[in-house]
Chain A
Amino acid sequence: MPSKNDTEALYAQVQRKLVESGEWDRIQLILMNKLNESGWTDDLRHRSKENARDMEPLSFRVLLKGLAPHIQTSIPPAIRKEMMAVIRQYVEKQFE
């Protein structure tokens, strides 16, 4: 059973490979395009703007905290599934 430290070390290693190869950014671009086409990005833009409009005093942390639950739960399941597959494919190939 891998210890917490082992998992963290593995995560750091995967992250490093993803970022250094540029894969992280390319995967993120695919994600951003999918989210944009689904309308999720604009919905978030709208919500954050309207929340900020009436906030006094305006604070980024408060804004982020208020939106975090929605962000966590609103990613369309189909997109989540597709992205997991893309990431999995890369990680598996790297660590074969």
Chain B
Amino acid sequence: MSASPESGPNPPDTDLSFSSTSSLESQANASDNNRCSHIREAMADGPSRAQIVTKYKAVISWTVNRTQDVLHPAKRRKISSPTCDVCELTLSRPFACLHCSFAGCWSNAHVGMHLKNEGHGFCVDVKSGSIFCGECDDFIYDATMDSIYLSTVVSAEEKQTKFQVKKKGREPFRPWIPSDKERVALEGTVALPCQGRRGLLNLGQTCFLNVVLQAFVHNPLLRNYFLSDKHNNQLCAKPPGCTSCEMDKLFAQIYSNSAIPHGPTSFLATTWRASAELSGYKQQDAHEFFISALNQIHNTSRGSTNVSCNCIIHSTFAGQLQSDVKCERCGNVTSTVDPMLDISLELKEKAGEVTSGENTLAACLRRYTQPEKLGAKEYSCGKCNKASHVSEASKRLSIRKLPPVLSFQFKRFEHKTTDKSSAQKIDAPVRFPASFNMAPYTTLVMNLKGKETERENERGGVPALSYPGPEAMYEYDLFAVINHEGQIDNGHYTNYARFQDEWYRFDDDKVTNSNLGACLNSPAYMCFYVKRHLDYKPDMTPTYVQTRENEAVREKELEKEKERARNKEVEDALLATV
């Protein structure tokens, strides 16, 4: 079990940003006119708030720990299982009162009756953390509690995670708390209303560029990086043609208070300069541009390296792919690990074919990680050493390291020859989910599958998961989809992207409200998923910043020396005249 803690960029996880700053908290709640008045009152009173929050956190932590015990048991022990205080049924979905130790069923109004009878205000669905208000007789939303839910779950998960390097536990997430200087700076700022959603003008067959840029704009890690001013285009020393500067300018445009479509002309010009194949006003492949842009941003990032780079691109997209070649004769396995920025998946059909059954993302991934027999001439086993024989071997791919953002491309264009224009398009629809779990396709889990003990089957039950949890380490949520309609040389790209809970459709300059159903039914070419909960390395100053600071100190010293030397010369000269 050698997976090391993943690196994440330093800005805090997208949803947790405001949990600690109380003035921003009350801002979030104050603007919600529909907020339940009962929770508002309860949270305004010190002791009442403390009691509710303490109970809530305890209940949520209990659930996360119980789930871990059930799915990934460290040792066999009896699972804590409360019963309903009204009907005594063992609770498969407990509702806990936030004011006393009562637990009960939702159905048959057992918990509802308790709230009424005892005059207690709130109870919580332990599984989802949803709070139910007895007075409103409905589930309610409170921004503070929502934020507490997330931080409690993440904290409990962090303690459970068994990926360890050198016996260290997982780095706990620390929310950003502004320093006094930062607080003053924040208070002096003026908030600009901005949508964060702007169309992009088509500059002549540039829809391929627009869809990839929208996928970047809606990528939470890229967004946080550039909005945190980590690559300021006005301070960058690079000559014109810095793609990272173009990204900074793009984010500034998108998050301005202009709602009219933006024309990404300088981004296009920089792309042409960087890559000859992508230049000229003709339709390009969006995936090709995507990979090229990633490389360009990486190249123009401060402190990027060729090996184990931690630039924003590698921090966001880089995973590791493991290829295991097994000799069928002696069982010897040779493994190689390669970096990957995205995954390209083959579809079941060939162009023009219609087969039964659907292409789903899961099925494509199963196909991708299926062992494949290597041709007789392709492999000779080092161990078997039958010089005259060439052994039979199989190759199997698996994901060794999961990146924070997973990008998938469905290979719809099969090139019959090297001439691109003779390629045919595979139009078969692919079904992909809004959320899913990558565990079954990871090296860790795939290697453990062979060794699973069958002990649970004696009791007729479902075996517990043999790989370490928590599940959130493997779970991803969809945030952008790039669509392609038409043929390879006569088609059009559009995209869907999600902001928090809402989906939008982007067709060059036209941005419209949309919904999950429309997105999932669209003809997908590329899909982008982000890990539900990120994991972090300890905060470190990047080496180039350290170097820069050391340089600055050294320069100051040198100046002082020069000053002293000059003064001494003047003194000596004066003395000489005496």
Contacts and interface: CB of A to CB of B under 8 A. Distances in A.
A22 B516 contact: no
Interface in A1-60: 12, 15-16, 18-27, 29-30, 33, 36-37, 39, 41-43, 45-46, 49-50, 59-60
Nearest to B136: A59
B78 A20 contact: yes
Contact of B516 (A24, A46, A89, A92): A46
B328 to A, nearest CB: 31
Given A19-B81, A20-B79, A42-B516, A36 B462 contact: no
- Most interface-central of B436, B437, B461 (chain A CB within 10 A): B461
B462 A90 contact: yes
A75 interface: no
A45 B502 CA distance: 12
Nearest to A47: B517
B462 A23 contact: yes
B90 A22 contact: no
Contact of A33 (B137, B431, B437): B437
Interface in B339-377: 360, 362
A24 B67 CA distance: 11
B464 A26 contact: yes
Contacts of A49: 501, 515-516
Nearest to A32: B437
B460 interface: yes
B434 interface: yes
Contacts of B89: 12, 15
B461 A60 contact: no
B515 A20 contact: no
Contact of B90 (A15, A30, A59, A61): A15
B92 A36 contact: no
A19 B91 contact: yes
Given A22-B69, A23-B462, A39 B431 contact: yes
Interface residues of B, number: 35
* Residues of A in contact with B, size category: 35 or more
Interface string B446-488: 0000000000000111111000000000000000000000000
A89 B79 contact: no
Contacts of B139: 60
B527 to A, nearest CB: 13
B439 to A, nearest CB: 10
Interface string B74-116: 0000110100000011111000000000000000000000000
Given A26-B70, A33-B437, A39-B520, A12 B90 contact: yes
B127 to A, nearest CB: 10
Interface string B130-141: 000000011100
B280 interface: no
- Most interface-central of A12, A16, A22, A37 (chain B CB within 10 A): A22
A65 interface: no
B71 interface: yes
A81 interface: no
A72 interface: no
B298 to A, nearest CB: 34
Contact of A20 (B90, B463, B464, B517): B90
A19 B90 contact: yes
B460 A92 contact: yes
B433 interface: yes
A20 B91 CA distance: 10
Contact of B138 (A15, A20, A60, A90): A60
A86 interface: yes
A94 interface: yes
A37 B69 CA distance: 25
B93 to A, nearest CB: 10
Given A12-B90, A15-B92, A22-B79, A29 B71 contact: yes
Interface string B52-81: 000000000000000101110100001101
A39 B432 CA distance: 8
Interface string B415-431: 00000000000000001
B435 interface: yes
Given A42-B516, A45-B434, A45-B516, A26 B460 contact: no
Nearest to B82: A19
Given A37-B362, A60-B139, A25 B460 contact: no
Interface string B224-247: 000000000000000000000000
Contacts of A45: 434, 516
21 contacts: A15-B92, A16-B81, A18-B92, A19-B79, A20-B81, A22-B79, A30-B462, A36-B433, A37-B362, A39-B520, A42-B516, A42-B517, A42-B520, A46-B516, A49-B501, A49-B515, A49-B516, A60-B139, A61-B137, A93-B459, A93-B461
Interface of B: 67, 69-71, 73, 78-79, 81, 88-92, 137-139, 360, 362, 431, 433-437, 459-464, 501, 515-517, 520
